[in-house]
């Protein structure tokens, strides 16, 4: 609207005055473009994670680029790589330190199911100890798959219920 042409008071355009939406839809829309990932990066998948989060593939386009290096400030836990039994208590603690709402991505086949590590050392999938929202298979997954995964997670967040007050609060 140009400043040089004053609008008569009686003729306000109604389109910009108010907007109706459902609360869950609105909060979901806001949240899905504002993901703060915490990269729990343990193994070779990290290379692909660097690739997907830097300029060429650029997860910033999906609002999920700025990694927080404390779980307390993040709402998306990306478990990137093999998790051993020795690390499992750490992963569990990191998950518990994150505030609600939070989502978890298992990045790569190791985090998803342990992959080809079926032995004394490796945890066969992080969903054995924490809930997972999205699994991205591949060893390591292609950046396109990761982006597809992030978009699927965004769809999921957009379609979720977003209680302002939940049972814990």
Partner 1 sequence: MAHGILVLQIAAESLMPVAGRLKQEFGFDLFLDVTATDWPQRRPRFDVVYHFYSTRDFVRVRLKTRVEEADPTVDTLVTLYGSARYMERECHEMYGIRFRGNDDLRPLLLYEGFVGHPLRKDYPKQREQPLVPYRDVKR
Question: Which residues of the chain form contacts with partner 1 (CB under 8 A)?
Answer: 85-86, 88-89, 92, 118-121, 123-124, 127-131
Q: Distance between CA 122 and CA 86 in Å, rounded? A: 9
Find the binder of ligand SF4 among 77, 104, 110, 146 (CB under 6 A). Answer: 110
Which of these, 169, 103, 89, 91, lies nearest to 135 by C-alpha position?
Answer: 103
Which residue from 41, 43, 134, 158 is in contact with ligand SF4, where contact means CB under 6 A?
43
Residue 131 CB, nearest approach to partner 1 (Å)? 7
Which x/- pattern, by CB under 6 A, does the window 129-168 give for ligand SF4? ----------xx----------------------------
Chain center to CA of 82:
19
DSSP code of residue 84: B
Shortest reach from residue 159's CB to ligand SF4, in Å: 28
Helix axes 143-159, 23-32, angle to 10 degrees: 160
35 binds ligand SF4 (CB under 6 A): no
3-class DSSP state of 89: helix
- The Cα 4–Cα 111 span in angstroms is 59
- The footprint of ligand SF4 on residues 81-100 (CB under 6 A) is 81-82
């Amino acid at each position: 609207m140009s400043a040089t042409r004053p609008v008569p008071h009686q003729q306000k355009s109604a389109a910009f005055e108010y907007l109706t939406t459902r609360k869950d839809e609105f909060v979901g829309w806001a949240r899905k473009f504002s993901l703060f990932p915490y990269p729990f990066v343990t193994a070779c998948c990290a290379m692909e994670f660097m690739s997907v989060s830097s300029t060429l593939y650029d997860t910033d386009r999906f609002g999920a680029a700025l990694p927080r290096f404390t779980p307390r400030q993040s709402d998306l836990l990306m478990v990137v790589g093999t998790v051993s039994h020795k690390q499992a208590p750490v992963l569990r603690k990191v998950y518990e330190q994150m505030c609600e709402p939070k989502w978890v991505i298992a990045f790569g086949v190791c985090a998803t199911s342990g992959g080809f590590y079926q032995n004394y050392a490796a945890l066969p999938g992080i969903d054995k100890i924490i809930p997972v929202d999205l699994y991205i298979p591949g060893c390591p997954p292609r950046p396109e798959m990761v982006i597809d995964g992030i978009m699927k997670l965004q769809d999921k967040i957009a379609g979720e219920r977003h209680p302002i007050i939940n049972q814990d609060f």
